[in-house]
Structure 1
């Protein structure tokens, strides 16, 4: 435990502070949860829509206002001013992969470019290669002089010249996969096209920025769970790959400072409450859902869909990402770009039909629409209807951003709202089950609990049923509705030194309260 963490823990214990607060910055919602460390009871919760979206100049841009997000989080804490004197620490969970730029005083000078931003898949344009040599000139043989790798670098430059998109070129130059939406791909596009603000001193995630606004910190401090989601991150050393960045011409001075491997405090609020460095929402949701780190396989369906399993040591698995976990462990993760967003797309299709047939705009509420869709899907399953086979890649995949959705096996009996809705949910379940099939056999053998989280599973019994059929096990739902905020609170308690590690924190705070069936 660091000296700062030790001091924070002693101060909290001496003052009898029993609460920790978790803040979650989601793509579509913002949440605050106050949790009692003596049992894990969530004593207060605030959930509000994330209304920070900004219209982009191009259809592939996905932007949000980082100050509007931070202001809303500060307003939530202000509503709990009576609770703050008894609060030992604050944790932050945030949507991953996206970036924003801050100036030397720590204020945002750009929008948040979210994980859904697709500019990295744009075709290369003339005149966009001015930084391609990584800071080095070339001689008459094409070898980089003063660059970062001699003939090997020149070979990469030559190969990059044949790339069709910004992503392909960055991956060729660095030798590392950098999926669409990852922050350093977005940064690479912006710096090559004049989009980086002149006042920018550092790039960071929205979680880092929230911590800066809460503490008055002037430079970002990024946890490895967030840093890895930016791209060009060396998992073994838990640090940015400076050589790869240099090969692409990315200035390492723009990268944020990394927090320590066991977590760190970003600072304190004006009231003196320690604030932990923000962690990724995937890792926070795992902490806020599972009863114990080991042996819990998590399926989370929100805006996207993810499978996650904790591993104490790094392990490679085809088709899965290895992500840093707070405290030094790892998370094997399979992430879909669809999930709840795919179901929402089908809902918008049905809504447009209903409104066009006489209901008028806004005539069908979201609750009514989703209740009907869930009922249709269950009806199709109960009746044993033959379902169309749906590949729900409406938004591409991590491995292939240009992949398109497909519907096959559609006949007259299946061309109904019931069968189509159930078929799409079956496609989402198939994606998650395919991720599970990629887990190493020794890890699958150690799974004792199959845990479900996110409103996409919580509110949709048809999706749960389809997924249970595919994995051959019941799915237990957590009683904590806002899993990422709860997990951020658990993380804060560990970072502040209230608990020695996450297993102790989960034991003392009750872990997840699991149940089979609906939680409404």
Structure 2
């Protein structure tokens, strides 16, 4: 007799990750399939939406081929957000997807941003959130201005998960949380905002909750007939996947970017923080950087080394050995500064330093970017948090994990799987298919932890100095970076 199972899928920035689990939390197998990202210069960062769908179908076919899925209850999907695909009436992508790292819309974003004052932002979002180059409205305004022919053909502007759901089930859906920046506290689209771009409102899919059944997979595809849930953005999927949903709990997700969040009913409007509308009793204050694991990948490409080899290099140094300061702004920065012109920087290099010093500097620089997030988030949520639940591919390095615990000055509690957003998507599938009545109960059943990292008090003074210098260096070079970027045309 087939076991009762669920599937969770995460359409990430570089990879589709999926897992098959029993409804009592045992993980039976995992799938991973990567896809390329095209970087054409001038801030352009694109992906082929068909590549997402191909890997999603590959995951379903893999599980169907290797297991008896007669007891499959449902499928949950999470994805990267502020990545947008423009889709025609037949469900096909009209152009490559504009990835969240893409900065081509910075100028049109600035025009839109100038039309909204801070009082209105706080009224809409609970914080003075900027309309930046990754905002959905900026993307629509850019397409309308630069490609009016494609804009006229556009039926839907969708996040990756919603595009995949459309192709799997034939149903156009979205959720209010992944529609970040387009939705207000009442969990509906913000008409006064959307009116700034004629035609924007009519191109957005209907909103539903995470656990709502979008539809069944159409015949002829793997797992045909299985219900697919609307799902959530990767940050919320990851939050569930690291066991966070109650007030005063905190998460730290590390993948291509670093994402931190605190659940708290308090709202103190704080620049740079995304204060999501309250959903299912959860008020999440969140902040994403631009280049967390992306900084490690960049350095690995320069040195010809994988992340494990970079960690081994960094481990050869004493904890308090002098290393340069690194700003990980390799393609602008998101929270808390939201500066598309920010750029990466090393300060303090000397001839006595080698690859180990550079590797440790990059790890520390990403850690300082996360500390800046934590500082802003605790102000926004009006609470101090510890421990911080953590997970994601970037938390597989013991060396880097300890560096980050030392920099943050907080205990980090790591979940026992690296595929945390897929695990959260599985929890959503379990609730949507009726296996559990609430997400809290699903999370309590399927989430487990494997290790804690405690900050070394002997490193506290060094990292206090390093963090202060990190912020000072950004402020001192901000205008220089802007001039350089503008001189080279973005």
Q: TM-score, structure 2 length as denominator?
A: 0.81
- What residue number does 1:429 align with? 367
Q: 8 Å contact 2:244–2:250 — kept in the other structure?
A: no
Deviations 1:284-342 (A, max 9, x none): 01111126644432222211111122235655334321235763522211211011111
Aligned counterparts of 2:329 and 2:62: Cα–Cα separation in 1: 41
Contact 1:174 1:245 in 2 (8 A): no
Q: Report the CA distance shift for 1:448/1:54 in structure 2 as closer, same or farther (over 3 A).
A: closer
Q: Distance in 2 between matches of 1:512 and 1:404?
A: 38
Quote the residue 1:75 is aligned against: 58
Structure with max Cα Rg: 1
| Alpha-carbon distance in structure 2 between the residues aligned to 1:72 and 1:312 | 38
- 2:262 alignment partner, SS class: strand
Distance 1:184 1:484 in 2: 26
Q: Does 1:468 align with 2:410?
A: no
Residue pairs, 1:137-176, within 5 angstroms: 165-175=107-117
Distance apart, 1:419 and its partner CA? 1.9
Is the 2:270–2:379 contact (alpha carbons within 8 Å) kept by the matching residues of 1?
no
- Report if aligned partners of 1:315, 1:322 keep a CA contact under 8 Å in 2: no
1:60 paired with 2:2, answer: no
Deviation track 1:25-56 (CA, whole Å, cap 9, x = no partner) reads 11111111111111x111111111124x4575
List per-residue Cα deviations over 1:38-91 (Å, max 9, x = no partner): 1x111111111124x4575x5422222212321321232122224432111100
Distance 1:20 1:226, change over 3 A: same
1:317 and 2:259 are equivalent in the alignment: no
Could you tell me which runs of 5 or more consecutive residues in structure 1 were left unpaired when the two chains were aligned: 1-14, 122-164, 352-365
Matches of 2:370 and 2:252, distance apart in 1: 8
**Counterpart in the other structure of 1:455:** 393
Task: State the secondary structure of the residue aligned to 1:452.
Answer: strand
Shift of 1:443: 5.4
Q: Go from structure 1 to structure 2 and tell me whether the alpha carbon gap of 1:389 and 1:68 turns closer, same or farther (over 3 Å shift).
A: closer
Q: Residue 5 of structure 2 aligns with which residue?
A: 19
1:46 aligns with 2:31: yes
1:266 corresponds, among 214, 224, 239, to 214
TM-score by length of 1: 0.77
Equivalence for 2:201: 252
Please name the residue that 2:147 is paired with. 194
CA distance in 2, matches of 1:506, 1:468: 25
Establish whether residue 349 from structure 1 lines up as the match of residue 332 from structure 2.
Answer: no
Counterpart of 1:401 (choices 340, 347, 363) is 340
Question: CA 1:312 to 1:496, structure 2 compared with 1: closer, same or farther past 3 Å?
Answer: farther
Question: Which residue is equivalent to 1:12?
Answer: none
Flag the 1:455–1:191 CA change in 2: closer, same or farther, 3 A: same
**SS at the partner of 1:89?**
strand
Q: Is the 8 A contact 1:202 1:255 kept in 2?
A: yes
> Which of 332, 335, 338 is equivalent to 2:285?
332
Paired residues of 2:10 and 2:234 also in contact (CA < 8 A): yes
Contact 1:263–1:326 (Cα < 8 Å) also in 2: no
Q: How far is 1:232 from its partner?
A: 3.4
Q: Is the 8 A contact 2:144 2:151 kept in 1?
A: no
User: Given the alignment of the two structures, is residue 181 of structure 1 paired with residue 181 of structure 2, yes or no?
Assistant: no
Corresponding residue number in structure 2 for 1:8: none
Question: Structure 2 CA distance, aligned partners of 1:204 and 1:395?
Answer: 23
Change (3 A) 1:109 1:227: same
SS in 2 for 1:376: helix
Q: Distance in 1 between matches of 2:391 and 2:440?
A: 19
Corresponding position: 1:288 with 2:271: no
Match of 1:37 among 15, 23, 28: 23
Indicate how the Cα distance of structure 1 residues 446 and 427 shifts in structure 2: closer, same or farther if over 3 A, else same.
closer
Q: Distance in 1 between matches of 2:144 and 2:164?
A: 24
Contact 1:174 1:248 survives alignment (8 Å): no
- Post-superposition Cα deviations, 1:454-485, rounded to whole Å, max 9, x if no partner, equal 222212x3322221112223322211221111
**Contact 1:23/1:33 (8 A) holds in 2:** yes
Partner of 1:374: 311
Equivalent pair of 2:285/2:380 in contact (CA under 8 Å): no
